Structure 1
Amino acid sequence: MDVKFQDTQANTTEKLNSTKQLFDSKPTVNFSVAEAVVKILGDMGVQYAFGVSGGAIAPVWAALHQSSIQVLHFRHEAGAAFAAIEAHFASDRPVVVFTTTGPGITNALTGLLAARWEGAKVIFVSASTSSPQRGRWACQETSNYTMPSAGIFTSGTIFHYATTLESSDELPEVARRIALGLGQPGGFVAHLSIPANIQTSSVNPSLPRVTLSQSAATASEETIAKCVHLLSEESFAIWIGFGARGAAKEIRQLAERTGAGVMCSPRAKGIFPEDHPQFVGVTGFGGHESVFRYMREQRPRHILVLGTRLGELTSFWNPEMIPRRSFLHVDIDPKVPGSAYPSVETFAIHSDVGVFCKALLKYFPDRSGMSKVRSLPKSKRNSIHPRANGKVRPDVLMNMIQQVIVEQSNAVVMTEVGNSLVWAIHLLRFAESSRFRVSTGFGSMGHFVTGVLGTALASNGKAVAIVGDGAMLMSSEVNTAVAYQIPVVWIVLNDGRYNMCEQGMAYLGFKDVDATIPQANFVKIAQGMGAEGIRVETEYEIQAALEKAIAATGPFVVDVIIDHTQIAPAQSRNQSLISQGATNY
């Protein structure tokens, strides 16, 4: 094992400058803590607050409504948290999630864990029981008597920063810590719990003034020179992940100047155009066989890894993805390089991907590098013609989504975990990363069923979620979309079962398991909540249904009756499970 962690230099000139920068000493009118917290959040750039109300959070909820922050009342706290994640990525601003005590907090935790995994900036504001009532079985009591404090109310694996505000005097320091976290590159998920009586207490006649400024981690000149030397030895490949989304222009320039083959993680589809002659394919879950052909036939000496953890659904830790010599792994998190393939030589670079690529480009001048490109394997797309009879095949549906939605609109497309995710990754093609969102880390069902609202709202445009019937039944905010007339589209792959589970169990050798679901009519459900919808039962009906959905001004459901016998391209995932012992063979 030879993992080399390189010293880095942080650009500190724009870092937050402690108390002087954060706090304004000029007297102001008196505020309640709830009002002060909301004002601070607005100063931090928050535009949206999503949540579910309750008695204990009433003062904060009321203060949000009196502010410039747009408040959306959701039907479930997890849905609010998923929407907040996607609103952050669509706007590049922190988003607030608010809940009441007890189950309000625990309901939100799945979405907040997803926010941590996804690298979003989310501030969770919850209520807790006032100190005089603790230990007395207050309604939905939230205290050390009734709920574990470690992890939920303290900084750790769920929250980068968490605290309970027990006095208004603590507010300046709490605001400073949240501002520092938001000013760092990457994700930041904070939890501010405020007892009900503290929310209505007064603050001192001065409020924290928040100044946010980000400083990007930067590799040293010595590190850059070492990378140039290694990459100049012979041909190399570039493996990009979601963390490289801000450096699309520089990555393309680097690839074209060097002739490098480019592959991407499922979350990074579109960062490098998928129709580019140097694009080899998507790796991992739902990925392309062309990637393996490339690694077998033209295995590069080095692979430059940009902004991906190379986790299971990106690499499956497959030995075929190992370069002949080493990985050069760039990430803002110094703990990431070397973790996926610990036995492989890794040159670790702690840097922002965009800053690193700009520095690297100085050593690779533009000399029409496209002429150096060797013939690279490409993923093939088979032409599939619609049939008049039978249920809808998923690959036919995806081909039509490509034509009607991806190529003829500017809608953002996102897809749930499950077979819908595999089909979309494998068959849809994007030329820009802002058009596609998936979750292959935490991978919670319901993430994009509800997250689609946050994307459409924050991007002020159309957003389309491709989901399974199981996810749509598990977590739905159609009613919320109707309430605020958010122009979202749900395309439901309705096959009456958790089909990834059913197909996966068969692949793993397990029999006589039941993954079926009583088939629902999602159009009738949507219409019952005030949305529009259309049911698709044959392949000839797909195009007209999608065109109607994309033209709709409000929320719209396309309920597609899917042929469940079509096997999704999830073999890599199933093989990974077998290698981990999850098999009956």
Structure 2
Amino acid sequence: MQLNGSEIIIECLKEQGVDTVFGYPGGTILNVYDELYKHPEIRHILTSHEQGASHAADGYARATGKVGVCLATSGPGATNLVTGIATAYMDSVPVVAITANVGKPLLGKDSFQEIDIAGVTMPITKHSMIVKSIDRLADTLRRAFKIAKSGRPGPVLVDVTKDVTAATYEYTYKKPEEIVPETDRITEKDLNRAAEMINQSKKPFLFVGGGTVISGASEEVRALAHKIQAPVCDSLMGKGAFPGDDRLYTGMLGMHGTKTSNLGMYACDLLIVLGARFSDRDVGNPKSFAEQAKILQIDVDPAEINKNVIVSGSVIGDIKEVLKRLLPMVAEKEGGEWVSDIMKMKEAYPLAYSPDGLTGPFVIEEIYRATKGQAIICTDVGQHQMWAAQYYNYTAPGTFLTSGGLGTMGYGLGAAMGAKCGRPEKTVINVAGDGCFRMNMNEIATLVRSNIPVIEVVINNHVLGMVRQWQTLFYGKRYSHTILEDQVDFVKIAEAMGATGIRVTRREELRPALEKAIALNAPVVIDCQIDCDDKVFPMVPAGVANSEVFDESDLAKKNC
């Protein structure tokens, strides 16, 4: 049947099973919005800023496993998506961003609100393309969804000129292609080598990354860990891939990982790395990373093998499929002395914080208790992000959403919005710092307008906490532009936007505030006032070996 370009865009979204999109209208995309008006089966969330739309599409994708979709007009509308697109790219999140551009005759003439957004986003997408002919529109959109979801997922941008959104062409429905796990590069040779390394190991250690979450390999990872009695640590992006309440779990690895994970990694004879890219925040000094051990890396992306850390063996392919084939090839092990040693480490080096006053770690633990560990937790970036990773036990994938690679302040509120739209049955809480909340607090108005019941917990220390921590430890306490000395009242801001605002200054006030927020089932902002010098420990200074991990007690001994 003959349809115009805008109708084709909507029909392609329906083909792909899209039920929610996030966006902001403008001149060049008006034809698409006019058609969207006629299709209430696709819920559109009008965000307060296009960046909020891209973060919301990201959060929706992470929480549901589907492709997230955002829309924006040309020029500044499109460029406002860029930070969210880059965030999704760094964390391998499947997002399709659809933008509209000026008409084809106006391209390249510095027209009003014209920009080469496909060119701008080329380095931060799996693929970016501009559609300047109506006969290419449907197939380009279908290809975009396939690219976003297949292999190592990531964002794809499709820019459509305004004349294409108005032109007509023959449209025929096509069932979406099935996305199958990548197995072409899995070889018997690599599997045999991997099995041999595991079977010969006396002290195996698992390091679980975000690729494990993406592949849906949680059951296989748990089966492997228990079959070979290997302790398990994770990266920030790997949270939830292995249950945080499992006996073999040792906590996060890296800059703010546990002492048990950082020191235990130097005691193993085999480090099995599942879907982790050896980020500098995880490995510290790559030259000394697990230098005593053999390293086996399993990853879907061949570009990650030997990129940051040289490994002894590797298997390239979807982690779930690799582990399915590998599990029957490995022999059961007794935990024995190795696991016993790690358990002793866990007892000797627990996470600890001051028992006095309202602190970041206490806030996270109280959230865990109030939600019984069943919430979706989103975060922004900074100290609160690390506390949320350390003190909330994640037992399922897709329940901890954070900007790990790009480290985007302002990410969490939009992501929480998207997660709640995708998983309405879940309690969704965004944990933010006051600096981050200032970045995208305007999306509270979106939550109220669209009746999206997200709880925003602001851990408010009136400073840029993580930067201040570095200034305290490494910059002689020179607090250059990190003190937020103003009279901003987050409770009043919440109320002004139509949400409920609650201020918490003492420990005993927090649990009632959380229970009230959950019971209200409406947008709520809880402003938790903590001390400006609360710090995140343990810590590994940038660029040094993870074995140099220290905590507050180590600092006290050093300063004696």
Q: Does TM, scored on the shorter chain, surpass 0.5?
A: yes
Correspondence for 2:488: 520
- Secondary structure of 2:272's counterpart equals strand
Letter in 2 for 1:332: V
What 5-or-longer segments of structure 2 have no aligned partner? 546-560
Identify which of 98, 104, 124 aligns with 1:158: 124
Q: CA deviation at 1:354?
A: 0.6
CA distance in 1, matches of 2:460, 2:149: 43
Aligned residues: 531
Which residue of 2 is the match for residue 437 of structure 1?
401
Distance 1:162 1:419 in 2: 34
Partner residue in 2 for 1:249: 219
2:168 alignment partner in structure 1: 202
Structure 2 counterpart of 1:232, one-letter code = N
- Quick one: distance in 1 between partners of 2:117 and 2:179? 34
CA distance in 2, matches of 1:457, 1:123: 17
- Partner of residue 434, structure 2: 469
1:494 counterpart (449, 456, 460): 460
CA-to-partner distance for each residue in 1:265-297, whole Å, 9 max, x for gaps?
A: 12212322222222222101321011233234x
What is the CA–CA distance in structure 1 between the aligned matches of 2:150 and 2:277, rounded to whole Å? Answer: 19
- Name 2:301's counterpart in structure 1: 333
Tell me the residue number matched to 1:457.
Answer: 421
Say which SS state the counterpart of residue 506 (structure 1) adopts.
helix
What's 1:132 paired with? Answer: 105
Q: How does 1:126-525 map to 2 (within 5 A)?
A: 126-134=99-107, 138-142=111-115, 147=116, 150-152=119-121, 156-182=122-148, 184-204=150-170, 206-207=171-172, 209-218=174-183, 219-235=186-202, 236-245=204-213, 246-296=216-266, 299-317=267-285, 321-341=289-309, 344-364=310-330, 374-375=339-340, 376=342, 377-378=345-346, 379-382=349-352, 385-387=355-357, 392-407=358-373, 410-460=374-424, 461-476=426-441, 477-509=443-475, 511=478, 513-517=480-484, 518-525=486-493
Moved more, 504-513 or 483-492: 504-513
The Cα of 1:195 is off from its aligned counterpart by 1.7
2:536 aligned counterpart, secondary structure: coil
TM-score (norm 1): 0.86
Matches within 5 A, 1:71-150: 71-134=44-107, 138-142=111-115, 147=116, 150=119
Give the C-alpha shift of residue 406 in structure 1.
4.5
Distance 1:575 1:394, change over 3 A: farther
What is aligned with 2:555? none
**C-alpha deviation, 1:255, in angstroms:** 1.1
Is this contact kept in 1: 2:379–2:432, CA < 8 A? yes
SS in 2 for 1:157: helix
Question: Which amino acid is the alignment partner of residue 443 of structure 1?
Answer: G
Taking a change above 3 Å as real, the CA distance of residues 553 and 176 of structure 1, as seen in their structure-2 partners, is closer
Is contact 1:263–1:281 with CA below 8 Å preserved after alignment?
yes
Instruction: State whether residues 531 and 555 of structure 1, in contact with CA within 8 Å, keep that contact through their aligned partners in structure 2.
Output: yes
Rounded Cα–Cα distance in structure 2 between residues aligned with 1:180 and 1:353: 19
Separation (CA, whole Å) in 2 of partners of 1:459 and 1:330: 30
Whole-angstrom distance in 2 between the partners of 1:287 and 1:39: 46
Q: Which amino acid aligns with 2:34?
A: A
The structure-2 alpha-carbon separation of the partners of 1:321 and 1:555, relative to structure 1 and needing over 3 Å to count, comes to: same
Change (3 A) 1:503 1:138: same
Cα distance, 1:462 vs structure 2: 1.7
Retained in 2: the 8 A contact 1:59–1:200?
Answer: yes
Distance in 2, matches of 1:188 and 1:209, equals 23
- Could you say if the C-alpha distance between residues 505 and 283 of structure 1 is closer, same or farther in structure 2, counting changes exceeding 3 Å? same
Q: Distance in 1 between matches of 2:74 and 2:165?
A: 13
Residues 442-465 of structure 1 deviation map (CA, whole Å, 9 limit, x = unaligned): 111011122110011101122101
Contact 2:376 2:428 in 1 (8 A): yes
TM-fit CA distance, 1:340: 1.8
**1:360, 1:574 → 2: CA distance?**
35
Instruction: After TM superposition, give the deviation of residue 539 of structure 1 in Å.
Output: 1.9
How far does residue 386 in structure 1 lie from its aligned partner after superposition? Answer: 4.9
2:123 counterpart SS class: coil
- Residues 257 and 370 of structure 1 are in contact (CA less than 8 Å); yes or no, is this contact kept in structure 2? no
Over residues 418-449 of structure 1, what are the superposed CA-to-partner deviations in whole Å (9 max), with x where a residue is unaligned?
Answer: 11112222322222233222222011101112
What SS does structure 1 have at the residue aligned with 2:11? helix
Distance, in Å, in 1 between the alignment partners of 2:52 and 2:544 is 30
Offset at residue 261 of structure 1 (A):
1.7
Counterpart position of 2:12:
40
SS of the counterpart of 1:453?
helix
Q: 1:135: Cα distance to partner?
A: 5.9
Say which is worse superposed, 523-532 or 40-49, in terms of deviation. Answer: 40-49
Q: Is the 8 A contact 1:303 1:323 kept in 2?
A: no
Q: 1:494 to 1:65 in 2, by over 3 A?
A: same
Query: Residues of 1 paired with 2:536 and 2:370: CA distance?
Result: 22
Q: Which amino acid aligns with 1:504?
A: W
Q: By how many angstroms is 1:490 displaced?
A: 0.6
Q: What percent identity do the matched residue pairs reach?
A: 25
Q: C-alpha root-mean-square deviation of aligned residues, in Å?
A: 2.4
CA–CA distance in structure 2, aligned partners of residues 97 and 81 of structure 1: 6
